[in-house]
Amino acid sequence: DTEVTQTPKHLVMGMTNKKSLKCEQHMGHRAMYWYKQKAKKPPELMFVYSYEKLSINESVPSRFSPECPNSSLLNLHLHALQPEDSALYLCASSPHAGAGTGELFFGEGSRLTVL
């Protein structure tokens, strides 16, 4: 199994809603990532988990809350988002934690629209 699975594929939410994005991998990878991608732009790193611990938070607003329940799962909890948070949210994993080699395995993304 060489896939990173993200759900839901599409999500529409209001600014007062609470929702979650989910990501799952069964490749035994030790690092998992959340990226945000706006249209026609490269992915921007949000969070990195290494061995289930948050190792990097790229100054992301607190309305985004990551969670890593176990080595295979990664969640992104969303609350009180703004319309400018509308984007494609990509989950990725890599075999090595820490610095890593830069080889990432991406899911297909969750396309979020905030109304």
Partner 1 sequence: AQSVTQLDSQVPVFEEAPVELRCNYSSSVSVYLFWYVQYPNQGLQLLLKYLSGSTLVKGINGFEAEFNKSQTSFHLRKPSVHISDTAEYFCAVISLSGSARQLTFGSGTQLTVLP
By CB under 8 A, tell whether 103 contacts partner 1: yes
Token duo for residue 9: 């594929």
Neighbours of 31 (CB within 10 A): 22
What gap in Å lies between CA 28 and CA 34, rounded to an integer? Answer: 17
Restricting to residues 39-78, name those near partner 1 by CB under 8 A.
40-43, 45, 48, 55-56
C-beta of 15 vs 56, nearer to partner 1 = 56
CB-nearer residue toward partner 1: 16 or 42: 42
Stretch that binds partner 1, among 12-20, 67-75, 78-86, 106-114 (CB under 8 A): 106-114
For residues 33 and 115, what is the distance between their CA atoms, to the nearest angstrom? 26
User: What is d(CA 46, CA 74) in angstroms, rounded to the nearest whole number?
Assistant: 13
The footprint of partner 1 (CB under 8 A) covers 4, 6, 40-43, 45, 48, 55-56, 90, 92, 99-109
